[in-house]
A and B are shown apart, each in its own frame.
Chain A
């Protein structure tokens, strides 16, 4: 009893000692904060507390956005704005100068339109497959499997890897003298150049990005599945409802908010695809896996004669696409909320 008391006293004293600097800091901060509250009023304190965050947001997000827009209205190769010539919408005109938008080779900036086309197909295919595989994985992982935690970790593990590591791992597997060809050779199959065949590389970039990110989306969907009340399934079972009907009538509607988050996150991430593909294929063969972000990077920083204005214009257009996608998500989300309230 005495030991317990002395332990409690000791803990309390230690806590007091550790908290002393915090208390001191609070007292010091209290003086200016009282003065601020007096000036701004209690209602104004919300703005005061939000101000640092808004300041950081303004400096690191809004300001670069504005500067990027200004860059897109300038020409030349210099980096300093003061040394750049104002060209108005010329960079945008250059990007849109095209005889036929479906034939990139008829456009002045053929690489831009090739990248737009590649990104479009990548987004459509990768996001569809991502949702499908993440949903199936989440449904399987939600069942009473043996070693369920182990399997969850296995599917989530690639998410922890850096995109560059992902790219390198798959490069070592898929290159001409890679692991896949070595394995196939053991079965008498001739080595194949997976990373230099236009059709295969496109498939490879989709497959690798699925492997790398699917675990993250499956985890979100798994959380959604676990939040669905079990009694609904029990009631359906008692009614003798078929599993497919249970899925379409209970699981899918109740999983919709999580699914929506997954769709939007996957869409945005797919539009921004860059790092693992850059390491895996470098955008090749030719331009078959050249996506928008790589086009912007190459045009702005990596080509022999940089054109920051053109890169800025392309990134503004890409930003607009992302804004539209986000607005669509917000719209669908709000409609879903209204339906739920009714």
Chain B
């Protein structure tokens, strides 16, 4: 009898240690900057206000979110809530919060613009909300431009005008490269769209590369070959591996750097007072002057044992005042319509360049093209990005001719679509 009691006790203790208690909510979170600390502070406040819910914040590396979380989700496991970037790709794993949140209309009104980015095609589910909206855009090293006596191109300047101006700066200031763009299909898509590219076919599946896409890619490869663009970033890896050129810009090696709004805090911290820099938005092409939107979302995972508690957490973090505070403290652009419309965001930084850059991004978000706004919610975006990066990288490394690269991009995408059936 005594042995049985001991065994039962041990089994109970084991169960207690592994099973989720009612009221337990686990959040998997990654950070680019200071948002992990801000989130920790907010989680503490949430638990004070909601003593019945115990939130555990697991701060993990981005690679865990990118590589390990999808495998956990496929196995029906994972956290209760996660901060992710592959929001559409994994949408079948998100919990529908619509019947669980206090006011679904509030969610639709304020987060509706990006709701499609994180739910399965054709559904009306509320999966979560964007913790930050990002927009791609350029940065110029103003000090280098001033020293070279080259005026900064104006707000409607084209990619060609920026390339010509940056080249003059490069030659005058003896810097290694005039321009750089991150090794990322998402980043490269912005100028492609500005040149009139459209990835989406009439059937909703990927279309072959069109004239707009080919035009910019041809120019891009040419600029790399003549040394205006930094080829290093693009040939420094195989496949679709991501590489940022931020360090080159921070080290004063570039006149113009095309990346996005998420770099503001990074640049402000690392450049300090070394030189003056400005965010200049996205250069124009014949069709538009658009950047590419994107961002990270906080989503609820459908395998949670405590959906009601998860919804309570999501409701709290989605409040207008919390979103506003989070954005101001993290220097992120908010994804909440109410916060954006009311304006008056007071970003918590003393860095004048960072403040000006954030204002510029808020302004630039108004010229984002319709096609660009749809792409984050399109199932095949990542497939197209990966194919473009892989083959353009090979072309810049001298392994492929441009026409062969175009043919390979189309073939790669078609194969992936076939694989996914």
Please list the residues of chain A having a beta carbon within 8 angstroms of any beta carbon in chain B: 75-80, 105, 108, 110-111, 176-177, 193, 195-196, 198, 281-290, 294, 298, 301-305, 307
Contacts and interface: CB of A to CB of B under 8 A. Distances in A.
16 contacts: A76-B419, A76-B420, A176-B176, A176-B232, A193-B232, A196-B235, A198-B397, A283-B238, A285-B396, A285-B397, A286-B238, A286-B393, A294-B238, A304-B240, A304-B386, A304-B416
A284 B399 CA distance: 11
Contacts of B74: 78-80
Contacts of A301: 67
B251 A195 contact: no
B231 A304 contact: no
Nearest to B387: A304
Given A198-B397, A305-B416, A285 B383 contact: no
A177 B248 CA distance: 10
A114 B304 CA distance: 44
Nearest to B233: A196
Given A77-B419, A286-B398, A304 B382 contact: yes
Interface in B341-388: 382-383, 385-386
Contacts of A176: 176, 232
A305 B75 contact: no
B31 interface: no
B210 interface: no
B237 A177 contact: no
B419 A284 contact: no
B194 interface: no
A281 B236 contact: yes
B84 to A, nearest CB: 15
Interface of B: 67, 71, 74-75, 176, 231-232, 235-241, 243, 251, 382-383, 385-386, 393-394, 396-400, 404, 408, 415-416, 419-421
Nearest to A291: B238
A130 to B, nearest CB: 24
B420 A305 contact: yes
Contacts of B393: 284, 286
B215 to A, nearest CB: 23
Contacts of B251: 177
A290 B239 CA distance: 9
B93 to A, nearest CB: 12
B402 to A, nearest CB: 14
A31 B231 CA distance: 72
Chain A binding surface SS class: loop
A290 B416 CA distance: 21
Contacts of A76: 419-421
Contact of B237 (A77, A198, A284, A303): A284
A153 to B, nearest CB: 34
Contacts of A78: 74
Most chain B CB neighbours (cut-off 10 Å) among A76, A193, A196, A304: A304
Contacts of A287: 238-239, 394, 397, 399
B397 A286 contact: yes
Given A284-B393, A284-B397, A290 B67 contact: no
Most chain A CB neighbours (cut-off 10 Å) among B232, B382, B408: B232
A302 B67 contact: yes
A303 B240 contact: yes
Given A284-B236, A287-B238, A298-B239, A307 B419 contact: yes
A193 B224 CA distance: 15
B236 A196 contact: yes
Contacts of B399: 286-288
Nearest to B393: A286
B404 A305 contact: no
B92 to A, nearest CB: 10
Nearest to B382: A304
Contacts of B400: 105, 286
Query: What are the 4 A-B residue pairs with the smallest beta carbon separation, nearest first?
Result: A286-B397, A283-B238, A282-B237, A285-B235
A176 to B, nearest CB: 6
Nearest to B251: A177
Contacts of B236: 195-196, 281-282, 284-285
B249 to A, nearest CB: 13
B397 A288 contact: yes
Given A79-B75, A283-B241, A288-B397, A305 B235 contact: no
Contacts of B419: 75-77, 305, 307
A302 B240 CA distance: 9
A281 B393 CA distance: 13
B397 A305 contact: no
A191 to B, nearest CB: 8
A198 B386 contact: no
Nearest to B421: A76
A305 B394 contact: no
Contacts of B385: 304
A119 B327 CA distance: 48
Contacts of B394: 286-287
A281 B237 contact: yes
A218 to B, nearest CB: 31
A76 B421 CA distance: 7
Nearest to A282: B237
A195 B176 CA distance: 15
Contacts of A305: 382-383, 386, 416, 419-420
Nearest to A195: B236
Nearest to A301: B67
A290 B394 CA distance: 12
Contacts of B231: 196
Contact of A111 (B235, B237, B239): B239
A302 B382 CA distance: 12
